[in-house]
Amino acid sequence: MTTLLNADLHCHSVVSDGTLNPEALAQRAKANGVELWALTDHDEIGGLTRAAAAAKAEGLNFLTGVEISVTFIGHTVHIVGLGFDATNEALIAGLQQTRGGRGQRAKDMADGLAKAGIMGAYEGALQFAGNHDLISRTHFARFLVETKVCKDTYEVFRKYLTEGKPGFVEHRWATLKDAVTWITQAGGVAIIAHPARYKFSTNEEYALFTEFKTHGGQGVEVITGSHTPAEFLSYADTAREFDLAASRGSDFHSPDESHTELGTLPLLPSTLKPVWELIKDRIQYAGDPT
Ligand code: AMP
Ligand code: MN
Ligand code: MN
Ligand code: MN
């Protein structure tokens, strides 16, 4: 397997903050020519059994996946895990603990929004959450669009849900060490998701990549729906500099909201080592291995 593979290893279902169920995502991935697929819901692996079965039915090779929320030097960073054993108890317990604070956080977010004159946001957001254990800012955003407070979810994030805005609540997620350890001890590979999104300084980014490697992290997303073409190139350099394998994923959430469709981004640069080389033995093949 080379970099020349239409792998889409980052997307979300209704089990976190996507709007499609795992079966619809598998169908969409297949229709778009995806050759290797992973479902990576936020802090939650409850959709993987359905996703694996749907992938098999579609003739789509599949990897287990998750996107873990981490707090690193006071900022939220996302770590994608791929190819782990989804029955691993430490991983399951760690994810449950990470999800645990979301209910209270959502109530605090609603209190902040109420002070800004937006009432009923907790109940409203909950109606959009397919999994009440995983209420996220995205569900609040959908509620504020439905009630016509904003025209789209991007406007909601800008005006209400990011740092300094009425619905933003500081939150402490998992540590970088815990997230990387849960993934790797379950036999998976840990990957820094969409690094350009964090807007870190050079020093902060160096600290993230260095500490990530210390804990056993092995990959970085280079081709992602969250990066510009210029960032594809600069993070390809970062992958080489830190000797990390490269990953590719759309971060698709919804046909109505996502700018990037499943399986449509450029392929990985051929000079990089693809993450799927590291977890070949964990791929669930739909047919005979190729
Ligand atoms: P949470 O885990 O509850 O903090 O929600 C984070 C999710 O909100 C991300 O995974 C994205 O799907 C979405 N999101 C975060 N920032 C933005 C933004 N600026 N615009 C649109 N969606 C965003
Ligand atoms: Mn999301
Ligand atoms: Mn993310
Ligand atoms: Mn994501």
> What CATH number did the domain enclosing 142 receive?
1.10.150.650
Is 290 inside a domain boundary? no
| Tens-place pLDDT, residues 187-240 | 999 999 999 999 999 999 999 999 999 999 999 999 999 999 999 999 999 999
pLDDT band at 261 (very low <50, low <70, confident <90, very high): very high
Domain co-membership, 111 together with 94: no
Among 142, 161, 180, identify where a domain stops: 161
Which ligand ends up closest to the CA of 76? 1
DSSP type of residue 265: S
Counting Cβ atoms within 10 Å, is residue 185 exposed (0-12), middle (13-18) or buried (19+)?
middle
Radius of gyration of the chain (CA): 18
pLDDT value for 79: 99
Is 259 found in the same domain as 192?
yes
Residue 119 lies in domain: 102-161
Q: What mean pLDDT is predicted for residues 252-260? A: 93
**Nearest residue by C-alpha to atom 20 in ligand 1:** 154
* CA distances (Å), origin 105, targets 131, 169, 171, 173: 15, 7, 7, 11
What residues contact 101, with CB distance under 8 A and at least 6 apart?
Answer: 171, 172, 173
* CA separation for the pair 201, 75 (Å, rounded): 12
Nearest to 274 by CA among 200, 198, 222, 199: 222
Same domain as 85, residue 176: yes
Q: What tokens were used for 34?
A: 């995806």
Quick one: pLDDT at residue 288? 56
- Please give the Cα distance from 198 to 207 (Å, whole number): 13
Residue 289 has pLDDT above 60, yes or no: no
Give the pLDDT mean for 77-101. 98
**pLDDT of 57-84, one tens digit each?**
999 999 999 999 999 999 999 999 999 9
Nearest protein Cα to ligand 1, atom 21? 154
**Does 138 sit in the ligand 1 pocket, CB within 6 Å?**
yes
Q: Could you tell me if residue 288 is inside a domain?
A: no
Number of domains the chain contains: 2
The mean of the pLDDT values for the chain is: 97
Ligand 1 and 139: CB distance under 6 A: no
pLDDT band for position 2 (cuts 50, 70, 90)? confident
Which secondary-structure segment (H or E) carries 3? none
Domain boundary among 161, 188, 206: 161
Residue 88 lies in a domain: yes
Instruction: Give me ligand 1 centre to Cα 137, in Å.
Output: 6
Establish whether residue 40 lines the binding site of ligand 1, counting it when its CB lies within 6 angstroms of any ligand atom. Answer: no
Residues 192 and 277 both lie in one domain: yes
Are 209 and 273 in the same domain?
Answer: yes
Which H or E run includes 89? helix 89-100
| Same domain, yes or no: 18 and 78 | yes
State which amino acid sits at residue 75: H
How many Cα atoms sit within 13 Å of 212 on the Cβ side?
Answer: 30
pLDDT grade for 258, boundaries at 50, 70 and 90: confident
Which residue out of 157, 253, 260 has the highest number of ligand 1 atoms within 8 Å of its CB and is therefore the one to mutate?
A: 157
